[in-house]
Amino acid sequence: MIGFYDYTVLLTYISLVCSVFGMTQAIDGRFRTAIVCLAISGLCDMFDGKIARTKKNRTKDEKLFGIQIDSLCDVVCFGVFPAMICYLLGVRGIVGGVVIGYYCVCSVIRLGFFNVLETNRQREEEGVNKYYRGLPITTMAIVLPLVFLLNFCISEGSFRWILLATLLIVGTLFIVNFRLRKPSNKMIALLVLIVGAAVVVILLFSRYRIVRMPVVESPLLGVMTDNSSDSSVRLLHRP
């Protein structure tokens, strides 16, 4: 089989599986579960690099594979997954669609640029890079659970605008060229505690609900030959 199979990539795959499962839960309206899956994915991403570096005899191909697979999974976990949650929570319409697309493009740019920098760096030096260039994409696993707490104290309309602003600001910070020092172990522990507390509050008290309205589209040929106003799209409201 192609690829590399050892414990160094295990957390990366667990992170991906959690995010894919979280997507299915978000589609079904189980946002508490989806937010928990996002937080778990972020937790796995925090430690996958540390675990990978415990294997001292990794070949160059194994290191490069780790860089690529980490970024590919991050696109899904912290690019597409948060965008999907925000869409399902109400970030829609023309403005919402543009901002979601912008966030996803910024995510891909940030990860592609990281791959180039990290690949070149590992050719010249060993060890861990002490700085990020731009905001790391994993930040969304911290920001979104904290933002989700606001649904307890503001209206749904305001909450959607805050989600939209979050996508716009965080996405922009992905591609702004600034240096950010990587957090120490103490800072990582503090972030885990903060996000963990937010997740517990969400699990215990969140009652956020979305009224889903499935859209049933008529065949395009029927739309072109039928002049009735409701032939193209029918909205079915669940009781």
**How open is the CA angle 160-166-169, to the nearest 5 degrees?**
140
When the candidates are 1.20.120.160, 3.30.420.40, 1.20.120.1760, 3.40.50.1820, the CATH number that belongs to 7-212 is: 1.20.120.1760
Strand partners, 216: 234
pLDDT digits (tens, 9 = 90+) for 73-95: 999 999 999 999 999 988 988 99
Average pLDDT, rounded, for the chain: 84
Query: Can you give the pTM of this predicted structure?
Result: 0.83
Q: Which of 51-60, 78-87, 185-194, 213-222 has the lowest mean pLDDT?
A: 213-222
DSSP string of 52-108, one letter each residue: HTT-TT--HHHHHHHHHHHHHHHIIIIIIHHHHHHHHTT--HHHHHHHHHHHHHHHH
Q: What is the mean pLDDT of residues 44-59?
A: 82
The pLDDT score that the predictor gives to residue 216 is 64
Predicted confidence band of residue 2 (pLDDT cuts 50, 70, 90): confident
For the beta carbon of residue 190, count every other beta carbon within 10 angstroms: 12
The pLDDT score that the predictor gives to residue 13 is 93
- Residue with the larger pLDDT of the pair 14 and 219: 14
Q: What is the mean pLDDT of residues 51-63?
A: 80
Strand 215-217 to 233-235 pairing: antiparallel
The pLDDT score that the predictor gives to residue 235 is 38
Q: Give the count of alpha carbons within 13 A of 13, CB side only.
A: 9
Predicted confidence band of residue 232 (pLDDT cuts 50, 70, 90): very low
What percentage of the chain reaches a pLDDT higher than 90? Answer: 42
pLDDT digits (tens, 9 = 90+) for 169-198: 999 999 999 888 888 889 989 999 999 999
Q: Where are the domains of the chain?
A: 7-212
Q: Is the pLDDT of residue 144 over 80?
A: yes
